[in-house]
C-alpha cells in the first residue's frame, strides 16, 4: 500500500506491516522514514535489529535463510536492507519477491533505496514489496514548500523562528535539505528552546562558502561589477568548488529569466516577484536587477549559465572559472565580451 511520508507516522501508530519499502531521491527523508519505523518498532518490543547493505557479492541466499530462521535473541526483530543502487540484480529480485510473498513472522523488513526509475518501480520485485506491506515514495521538498518544512522542523526542535529567519535559511539552503537540517540541529544546541532571530544566527551558518557565494549573487544583482570580481577571486583563492558558485548563479539566472518574461508580458514587477516567491528582504535587490536587465538580456544569462554548466561537466571546452566570471559579470550588467580573464 503506497502512503506519503506524512502518513507514515500515523500509520505506525495503528500497527506494523510486515514489509516497508522506502525509496526516493531525498536521502535525508528516506533515512528519517527508516528511523521512524525503527523507533516505533523498538518501542513495541522489536529489540533485535539487523542492518544489511547490498554490495557486490551480497549473499542473497543468506538473507533468505535468515528470514526463515527463528531469532536467536528475541521474539521480535527488525531487518533493514539498504539497496543503494536500487538494483538487486536477478538473484536479489527473486529473493525479494519470495520474501514479499511469505514475510517471516514476528519480523519487520525495511527495504530502502534512492530514487527509482519508472521501469524499476514497475518491476516484479518492487510491486511485490509494495503489495506485501507499505511503500513510501519520498519526493524532494520543492522550493515553495521549503519555508514551511523549515518552520515545522525548527518548531519540533523547540525553536521559534524570528522574522526573516525561515526565509534566509530557505534562500541559502535550497537544494540541500541535509545541510538545512544540520543548521537547525546546530541552532538547537547553541540556543536551546525559544526564539531565534537573524542577529542570533549571523556568523553561525555552518557553510561560510555557501554564504559568501550568495554575497556574490547579491553583488551581481546590485550591478556592482568590481565587488563581483573581488568576491569571486576570494572564493577561488579559498578553494571553493566552482560547482557551488555555478549552481547559485544559474539558479538566479533562471529566476530572473522567468520574472523578466512576466514583466515583458505586462505584469508589474512586484507581481512577478510575488509569483516567484521572492522574500521581502530581497525584493528591492531583485526588482533593481529586473529594471536593469531586459528579457533578451535575461535569456542571454540563461545561455551563459547553460554553457558554464557544460564546461563544468566537461561537455564543452573552456575554462570554468572564466565562464563563471562571465556569467556573474553579465548578471551585474556588464556587456558581453568585457568579462574575460
pLDDT by residue (tens digit) across 32-55? 999 999 999 999 999 889 999 998
Check: pTM over 0.85? Answer yes or no.
no
Closest CA to 184 of 157, 164, 163, 203: 157
Q: Which residues contact 29 (CB under 8 A, 6 or more apart)?
A: 5, 138, 141, 177
pLDDT by residue (tens digit) across 69-110? 765 555 789 999 999 989 999 999 999 999 999 998 889 999
pLDDT by residue (tens digit) across 105-142? 889 999 999 989 889 999 999 999 999 999 999 988 88
Q: What was the pLDDT predicted at 292?
A: 87
Assigned domain for 341 exists: no
Distance CA 135, CA 119 (A): 16
Assigned domain for 303 exists: yes
State whether 313 and 253 are in the same domain: yes
State whether 117 and 67 are in the same domain: yes
State whether 224 and 179 are in the same domain: no
Distance CA 102, CA 88 (A): 19
What's the CATH code of the domain at 192?
1.10.8.60
**8, three cell numbers:** 507514515
Assigned domain for 292 exists: yes
List, in sequence order, every beta strand (DSSP E) within the chain.
Answer: 2-3, 19-24, 48-53, 77-83, 107-113, 134-138, 159-161, 194-196
Tell me the three state secondary structure of residue 19.
Answer: strand
State whether 172 and 86 are in the same domain: no
State whether 323 and 270 are in the same domain: yes
State whether 113 and 186 are in the same domain: no
Q: What is the distance in angstroms between the CA of the first residue and the CA of the last residue of the chain? A: 57
**308, three cell numbers:** 558554464
Distance CA 203, CA 176 (A): 19
By residue range, what is the domain housing residue 189?
146-201
Assigned domain for 209 exists: no
Q: HSE (CB half, 13 Å, CA atoms) of 101?
A: 9
Count of domains forming the chain: 3
Q: Which residues contact 33 (CB under 8 A, 6 or more apart)?
A: 5, 8, 22, 112, 136, 138
Distance CA 282, CA 303 (A): 24
Q: What was the pLDDT predicted at 340?
A: 44
Assigned domain for 25 exists: yes
Assigned domain for 214 exists: no
Q: What was the pLDDT predicted at 339?
A: 52
Sites in the chain below the pLDDT cut of 50: 338, 340-341
State whether 24 and 112 are in the same domain: yes
Element (H, E) at 129: helix 124-132
Tell me the three state secondary structure of residue 77.
Answer: strand
State whether 103 and 229 are in the same domain: no
Distance CA 306, CA 327 (A): 10
Amino acid at each position: 500500500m503506497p502512503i506519503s511520508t506524512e502518513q507514515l507516522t500515523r500509520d505506525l501508530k495503528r500497527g506494523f506491516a510486515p514489509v516497508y519499502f522506502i525509496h526516493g531521491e531525498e536521502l535525508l527523508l528516506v533515512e528519517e522514514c527508516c528511523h521512524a519505523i525503527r523507533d516505533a518498532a523498538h518501542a513495541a518490543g522489536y529489540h533485535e535489529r539487523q542492518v544489511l547493505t547490498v554490495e557486490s557479492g551480497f549473499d542473497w541466499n543468506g538473507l533468505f535463510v535468515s528470514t526463515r530462521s527463528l531469532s536467536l535473541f528475541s521474539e521480535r526483530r527488525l531487518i533493514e536492507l539498504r539497496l543503494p543502487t536500487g538494483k538487486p540484480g536477478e538473484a536479489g529480485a527473486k529473493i525479494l519477491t519470495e520474501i514479499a510473498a511469505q514475510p517471516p513472522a514476528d519480523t519487520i523488513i525495511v527495504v530502502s533505496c534512492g530514487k527509482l526509475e519508472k521501469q524499476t518501480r514497475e518491476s516484479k520485485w518492487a510491486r511485490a514489496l509494495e503489495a506485501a506491506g507499505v511503500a513510501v515514495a519520498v519526493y524532494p521538498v520543492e522550493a515553495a514548500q521549503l519555508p514551511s518544512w523549515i518552520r515545522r522542523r525548527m518548531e519540533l526542535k523547540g525553536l521559534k523562528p524570528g522574522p526573516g529567519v525561515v526565509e534566509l535559511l530557505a534562500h541559502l539552503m535550497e537544494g540541500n535539505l541535509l545541510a538545512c537540517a544540520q543548521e537547525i540541529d546546530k541552532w538547537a544546541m547553541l540556543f536551546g528552546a525559544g526564539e531565534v532571530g537573524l542577529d542570533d544566527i549571523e556568523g553561525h551558518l555552518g557553510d561560510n562558502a555557501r554564504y559568501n557565494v550568495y554575497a556574490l549573487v547579491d553583488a551581481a544583482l546590485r550591478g556592482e561589477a568590481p565587488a563581483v570580481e573581488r568576491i569571486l577571486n576570494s572564493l577561488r583563492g579559498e578553494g571553493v568548488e566552482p560547482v557551488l558558485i555555478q549552481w547559485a548563479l544559474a539558479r538566479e539566472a533562471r529566476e530572473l529569466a522567468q520574472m523578466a518574461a512576466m514583466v515583458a508580458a505586462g505584469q508589474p514587477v512586484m507581481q512577478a516577484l510575488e509569483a516567484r516567491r521572492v522574500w521581502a528582504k530581497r525584493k528591492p535587490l531583485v526588482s533593481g536587477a529586473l529594471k536593469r536587465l531586459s528579457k533578451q538580456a535575461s535569456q542571454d544569462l540563461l545561455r551563459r549559465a547553460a554553457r558554464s554548466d557544460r564546461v563544468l561537466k566537461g561537455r564543452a571546452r573552456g575554462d570554468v572559472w572564466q565562464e563563471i566570471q562571465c556569467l556573474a559579470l553579465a548578471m551585474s550588467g556588464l556587456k558581453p565580451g568585457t568579462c574575460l580573464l
